[in-house]
Amino acid sequence: GEDVEQSLFLSVREGDSSVINCTYTDSSSTYLYWYKQEPGAGLQLLTYIFSNMDMKQDQRLTVLLNKKDKHLSLRIADTQTGDSAIYFCAESIDNQGGKLIFGQGTELSVKP
């Protein structure tokens, strides 16, 4: 079945690294995405990873994918107060066109 799970809250100090975790169940996932949502706004795509990759780095963001365990993580280096938001992971299923399956979202709180 299609299910994506995330922990709901994460609190870190400014300057620390944040790690947000996600697990998914569908083995036919092709691409996995990380989105950011700030209050009152839509979703902003941060990064994505193809399912046959293990890691992708994009400036302060590092995505790790363990396909065997169906586990995805997003690491934000040098976390800033402006990174406070809700982060969603999402999977795209190969035969499902424009359908994304989202996790519940992780609320990241960055304390100065």
Partner 1 sequence: KAGVTQTPRYLIKTRGQQVTLSCSPISGHRSVSWYQQTPGQGLQFLFEYFSETQRNKGNFPGRFSGRQFSNSRSEMNVSTLELGDSALYLCASSSTTGLGHNEQFFGPGTRLTVL
Residues that bind partner 1 (CB under 8 A): 30-31, 35, 40-45, 48, 50, 88, 90, 92, 94-105
Give the shortest CB-32-to-partner 1 separation in angstroms: 11
In sequence order, the β-bridge partners of residue 18 are 76
Task: Decide if 101 contacts 36 (C-beta within 8 A).
Answer: no
Q: Which is nearer to partner 1, 8 or 77 (CB)?
A: 8
Q: Which is nearer to partner 1, 9 or 50 (CB)?
A: 50
Rg (CA), the chain: 13
Give the shortest CB-27-to-partner 1 separation in angstroms: 16
Cα–Cα nearest to 18, from 38, 41, 36, 5 = 36
Name residues whose C-beta falls within 8 Å of residue 50's C-beta, 6 or more positions apart in sequence. 30, 31
Q: Which is nearer to partner 1, 12 or 46 (CB)?
A: 46
Give the shortest CB-99-to-partner 1 separation in angstroms: 5
In sequence order, the β-bridge partners of residue 88 are 35
Tokens of 79: 């976390």
Give the shortest CB-40-to-partner 1 separation in angstroms: 8
Q: Which is nearer to partner 1, 89 or 110 (CB)?
A: 89
